Chain A
Amino acid sequence: MPEDVAVATVSELPEGTHKVVRAGRRELGLFNVGGTLYALPNLCPHQRGPLCEGRVSGTVECTEETGWRLSWRHEGEILTCPWHAQEFHIPTGTCLAFPQIRLKSFPVRVEGDAVLVTV
Chain B
Amino acid sequence: MRLEELFIVDGDVHVHESPAALAEYAPDPWDVALREIAKIPERYMDLPGLSPHGELSIPFPGGLERDTTVTSAAEMHEELAELHIDRAVLFPDHLLMIAKLPNADWAGSVARAYNQWLEEQWLAEKDSLLGAIVVAPQDPAGSAADIRRHAGRNGWRCVYLPACAVEPLYGHRSYDPVYEAACETGLPVVLHSVTTVHPVFPFQLHAFESASARHSVAHPWAMMANLTSMMETGVFVRYPDLQVAVMEAGMSWMPFLMMRLDKEFSEHRRAMPALKKRPSEYLAGVYVGTQPIEEPPRRGDLLKVIELFDGEDRLVYASDWPHHDFDHPQFVAGYPFDDEMRRNVMGLNAARLFGIDVPEGPYA
Contact = CB atoms under 8 A, between A and B. Distances in A.
Interface residues of A, number: 17
A116 to B, nearest CB: 29
Interface string A38-49: 000000000111
Interface stretch (B4-12, B63-71, B123-131, B260-268): B63-71
A75 B331 CA distance: 31
Interface stretch (B33-41, B251-259, B322-330): B322-330
A85 B61 contact: no
Contact of B325 (A56, A78, A84): A84
Interface stretch (A5-13, A23-31, A57-65): A57-65
B331 A83 contact: no
B64 A80 contact: yes
A49 B324 CA distance: 12
B117 to A, nearest CB: 29
Interface in A73-99: 78, 80, 82-85, 87
Contacts of A57: 60-63
Nearest to A82: B66
Given A84-B324, A84-B325, A47 B331 contact: yes
A68 interface: no
Contacts of B65: 55, 80, 85
B2 to A, nearest CB: 15
A80 B326 CA distance: 16
Contacts of B61: 55, 57-58
Contacts of A55: 61-62, 65
Nearest to B330: A48
The binding surface of chain A is classed by DSSP as: strand
Given A47-B331, A48-B330, A55-B65, A85 B324 contact: yes
Contact of A59 (B62, B326, B330, B331): B62
Contacts of B63: 57, 59, 80, 85, 87
The binding surface of chain B is classed by DSSP as: loop
A55 B65 CA distance: 9
Contacts of B60: 57-60, 72
A7 B62 CA distance: 26
Contacts of B327: 47
Interface in B52-96: 60-66
A50 to B, nearest CB: 12
Contacts of A47: 327-328, 330-331
Interface in B15-63: 60-63
Contacts of A58: 60-62
B331 A78 contact: no
A93 B218 CA distance: 33
Nearest to A87: B63
A48 B325 CA distance: 14
Nearest to B212: A85
B329 to A, nearest CB: 10
A48 B60 CA distance: 25
18 contacts: A47-B328, A49-B328, A55-B62, A55-B65, A56-B62, A57-B61, A58-B62, A59-B60, A59-B62, A78-B62, A80-B64, A82-B66, A83-B66, A83-B326, A83-B328, A85-B64, A85-B65, A87-B63
Interface of B: 60-66, 324-328, 330-331
Given A82-B66, A85-B66, A87-B63, 18 more contacts: A48-B331, A49-B328, A55-B61, A55-B65, A56-B62, A57-B62, A57-B63, A58-B60, A59-B62, A60-B60, A80-B62, A80-B64, A83-B66, A83-B328, A84-B324, A85-B63, A85-B64, A87-B62
